[in-house]
Structure 1
Amino acid sequence: MRDSRLQKILFTLSLFAICMAGCSQSEKTEGPNPLKTSVHLDAVCKSLPLTDSLVLDLVGPDTFHVVLGDLEASVDKLLNPGSWNFYAKYYANGLLVQQGEVAAELSAGEEVNISISMRAVAGFLFVRIPLGLTNPMDIASGELSLVSGKDSQSYPLSFTAEAATVSTGMLVIGQTYDVHLELFSSSGELLYQMDSQVLIDGENFALNWELNSLHADVSLSIKSDSLSTFSATAFLPSKLRAPKAGDLTITEFMTEGKDEFVEYYNASLDTLDLQGCSLWATSSSSFKSMVEIPETVLLPPDAFLIFGNDSMPGRDIPVKLSMPGTKGSIALRCGELTIDSLFYVSEKTVTADTTGAYAGISPFAVDSKWSLQLPLENYKNRENGLSWCNGEFSLHQKANCAD
C-alpha cells in the first residue's frame, strides 16, 4: 500500500521526481555558464510495483526530452533564460499513473529551485504469489477479477520460476472495485479464493498485494465445496519453522579474494529459523565448518542470506573464508541434516587434468574478478557449471549475468 507521505512528489533544485529503486546515479553536471540558468533535476525516492520510467519534458527557448529509467534519479541541465514549462510523467505497468507540470521564468546566471506537485491520473492492482522453487502447492492457474458497476475485467495469472503474478489494466481514479482472486491446481481443484474491495484514489492508486504463505498442508486438505471466502488486503504471514533439505539453495559465491562470500536463497514459502545451522566450505584442502549461524537469524521466504568477510558490504553473517578457486565444496547444514550442498571445479582444473578424474563433470567458470551466480530457473541443474553465469555482485538480488 502506498505511503500517504508520497502522495505528492516534489521536484526540487529544479525537478524532484520519483526514483525507481535508488538515488545514486546522475548525469554529468554541465559547467557553470553566466549566460544560462543552472537547473538540477534530482529525484525523491519512491517505490511503485512494475515501474517503467519517469519522463521529463523541458519546453522553452529549447526543448529537452529526458527519460529516467531504473536506478536513475537525477539530471543536470544548463538552460537558456526565458519562459519555461516543465512537464513530468510517471509510467508503471505500461500506464501513465502520475503527472504534473509547472511554468517558470528563468534568468541568466542563477540557480533555480522548482517544485512540481504530481497527481495520480490512473491506478492498477498488482498481485504476487511466491511459489517456492518447487511449487509445493501445485498452483497451476488462477484469475483476478474486478467489478465496478457494469464494468468487469478479468486477468489470468502469469508464472515465472519462483512466483505467480497478475496485474490489471488501468483503474479509474475515484472508482471502487470488488476484487476476486482464485487459484487452481493442475487438476483444476480450487486451492484458494479471496474477495475484497478497493477504492482507487489519489493516495492509493498503485496497490501491491503479496500472498506470502499459502501452505500446501492446509490448503490442499480443504475441499472446494467447503472453502470459505477470504477477505484480505495485506500480507499473509508465513509459517515459522526449521529448514528442511532443499529449502535453501546456494545462488551466488566468490572464491579467491578479499570479498569471498556465499549467498543462500530461501526457496520455501515459510520463514526459516536457522538456529543450529552452519556454513561448511573447503578451506586449505579440508572441508570443515566455517561459522555457526546466530540463534536470532530468521529468514523470510524469497529472501537471501549472505556469509562474507568482515569488510564486505552487504554481508549478513561475518565469516573468514578461504575457498580455493580450483575446486571445493560448499554446504549448509542444520544439525546432522544437509540442507544444500554444491561441489565446484574450475575450467582450468578440468583442462589441466590428465587422469580423467573429472570426466563427465561440467566445470564452473571460476573468475577472480566476477562472482558465480545461479539464475533461479536453473536451480534443478545447479550442479552443472553451465547453469551458472559470471557477473558483478548481485547481493540480496536475483542473478546479474554479464552476458
Structure 2
Amino acid sequence: MLPTQKIKKTACAVALGLCALSAWNCGENETKDNALTVSSETARIALRLEHSDTPLLDSLVLDCEGADTLHLVQDGSEAEFRLDLFPHERWKFSAKLYANGELMQIGEIEAKLEAGENTNLAIPMHAVAGFVYVEIPLGFGNPAGIASGTLTLSSGADVFEYPMAVEGSTAIFKSGVLPLGRDYGIRIELSNSDGIAIFSLSDTFRLDESSPVPELKINSLRARIALAIEIAADVNLGISLPLPASRRVAGTGDLVISEFLVNPVKSDSTQFDFIEIYNGSNDTIDVENCFIGKSTNSKESAAIEPLSILPREALVLGNDTNPNTPEEYRHTELMPTFTKSNSSTAAAIVLHCDGEIIDSVYYGKLDSLHLSAVPLNGSTSTTKSSQFDLSGWDDRENPENWCLGTPTPGVASFCE
C-alpha cells in the first residue's frame, strides 16, 4: 500500500545483504609486471556488507580489483551478492553506501582467492556522514489540520532548517548531509493552514559514527509523543513527552480492514485465514470491546484481545483454531468461519466496537442491495489475499481500490 507503511521498522545495526547473482567471463589474461598467469578456473565468493540500517537508501556500490576490475551497483533490495572471480593473490573489495543523495558509509577488505574454493566475506562499513529523518503520522484526512512544518537543527554557530513534505498520510522531514562528531539541537514545529503553530517539540542528540542516521519516531500527535533516537541494537535513548490527551478508543474511520484472506489453498500449509486492521488515525487506538465478525451479531463475531495499535501500524487477527496460524496473530477466540466464495451468497467482514461499526468489507454476491464487491481469490492452486490501497481510504467500498496479491499479513503492501 503506502511506502511509508508497514510497520515494525527499527534503526538498529543490521547486516544487510547486498547485490545480485552474477557470473563474470573476463577471459584469460596475463600481467607482465608480476608474470602472474590467471587460470581459467574460478573461485566462488559471497559478499555481505555489514552496515547500519539506513532510511532513504539509494544504492550500494562495490568495486572489485584483482585479476580483473569490476564495478557493481545495487539498489539494496537483494539479500546477497555472489560472484565467480578468477583466482588471485590479492583481491581488494571496496564498498560504498549512498543514502539521501549522499555518500554515507564506506568499507574495504582484501582476500586471496584460489581456484575452486567457496569464500564468504563480510565487509565492515563505517559512517563518514549522517542525516536526520523524521516521520509523523497525519491520519486519514489529516484531522489535526497540519499544513506546514519546519525542522531546525543547530550545532554551535551552525543552524540548518528544512521544510516538511507530505507522502500519503505521513509528514516527512529529512535533512541534508551533516558532519559527524557533533551534538545537535532539534526543533520540530507544525502549523495549520492559517500559519498558527499547533505542535512543537525540542530535544538534543549526538550524531557520530555509531549513530549516523538517528531515526526519530513520533507515534502520536494527540496521545503520547514517543521520541526515540534508536542508534544501535543495544542502545535506545527514549524520551516520552506527555500531552493533555490520552490514547483513545476507535471511532468510525480510525481503523480500516486493509487486507484479508479467507480462502487459502488447502494444500498450502504456509497460508492461513487472517484479517489485517490498519490504524489510519494519528492516535494510538485501543481495541478493547472490539469484535470482528460476519455481522454485528455477537454469535457471528469474535472478541479481539484488548490491545493497542500505534498510528500507521497494523494488527493481524488470525483464527486461533487453525494450526497454521502463527502464535503472534492469534488475537481472537473462536473467530467465525467466513464465507469462502464471492459468487454464491452475501459475505462480509465487519469490525465493530462498543456496538458501533468501525469498518466493513463486502465481498459476496452482487444483488440489489450490493452493487459492488471487493475481489476475492477464486484460484484453487494459488493463494492470494484481498488488499486495500490505503490512498483510497475515503472510498473504501470502491472495488478499484482493492486488488489480489501475495499475502503480506502485518505489512501494508498493495499487491506487491
Give, in whole Å, the separation in 1 of the partners of 2:240 and 2:108.
35
Partner of 1:229: none
| Aligned-partner residue type, residue 355 of structure 2 | E
Deviation for aligned residue 1:138:
1.1
How many equivalent pairs are there? 360
Distance 1:216 1:18, change over 3 A: closer
User: Which residue of structure 2 lines up, in the alignment, with residue 226 of structure 1?
Assistant: none
Residue equivalent to 1:304:
314
Q: 1:63 aligns with which of 69, 74, 79?
A: 69
Against the structure 1 CA distance between its residues 289 and 46, is the aligned structure 2 distance closer, same or farther, given a 3 Å change threshold? farther
Q: What aligned pairs does 1:83-162 form with structure 2 within 5 A after superposition?
A: 83-162=90-169
Change (3 A) 1:264 1:237: farther
Of residues 393, 412, 415, the one that matches 1:379 is: 393
Q: For residues 186 and 316 of structure 1, do their structure 2 counterparts lie closer, same or farther at Cα, with a shift above 3 Å needed? A: farther
Shift of 1:378: 0.2
- List aligned pairs for 1:322-401, cutoff 5 A: 322-326=338-342, 327-345=346-364, 349-350=365-366, 357=368, 361-368=371-378, 369-401=383-415
Which aligned pairs between 1:98-247 and structure 2 lie closer than 5 A?
98-215=105-222, 234=239, 239-247=246-254
Relative contact order, higher structure (CA 8 A, sep 6+): 2
Counterpart-to-counterpart distance in 1, 2:104 and 2:111: 24
Q: Distance in 1 between matches of 2:139 and 2:369?
A: 33
Spell out, residue by residue over 1:315-355, the C-alpha distance to the aligned partner (whole angstroms, 9 max, x if none). 3435353324224221111232222222234xxx54xx7xx
- Are the equivalent residues in 2 in contact too, given 1:260–1:321 (CA < 8 A)? no
Change (3 A) 1:34 1:40: farther
- RMSD of aligned residue pairs (Cα, Å): 3.3
Q: What is the 5 A alignment of 1:245-264?
A: 245-257=252-264, 258=266, 259-264=272-277
Contact 2:288/2:304, CA 8 A, preserved across alignment: yes
Which amino acid letter does the alignment assign opposite residue 318 of structure 2? G
CA distance in 1: counterparts of 2:202 and 2:224, whole angstroms:
22
Range with bigger deviation, 174-183 or 145-154: 145-154
- 1:55–1:88 contact (8 Å) kept in structure 2: yes
Q: 1:79 aligns with which of 85, 89, 99?
A: 85
* 2:300 counterpart of 1:289: yes
Compute the TM-score of the two structures, normalised by the length of structure 2. 0.76
**TM-score of the aligned structures, taking structure 1 as reference length:** 0.78
State the AA in 2 paired with 1:401.
C
What is the Cα deviation at residue 169 of structure 1? Answer: 0.8
User: How far 1:212 moved relative to its partner?
Assistant: 1.5
Equivalent position SS for 2:117: coil
**Cα contact 1:131–1:164 (8 A) shared by 2:** yes
Contact 2:49 2:124 in 1 (8 A): no
> Unaligned 5+ residue runs, structure 2?
1-9, 25-38, 226-236, 267-271
Contact 1:123 1:172 in 2 (8 A): yes
Please say if residues 121 and 173 of structure 1, whose CA atoms lie closer than 8 Å, have aligned partners that are also in contact: yes
- Aligned twin of 1:18: 16
Task: Show structure 1 runs of 5+ residues with no match.
Answer: 10-16, 219-231
Equivalent pairs: percent with the same residue?
Answer: 34
Q: Distance in 2 between matches of 1:321 and 1:68?
A: 45
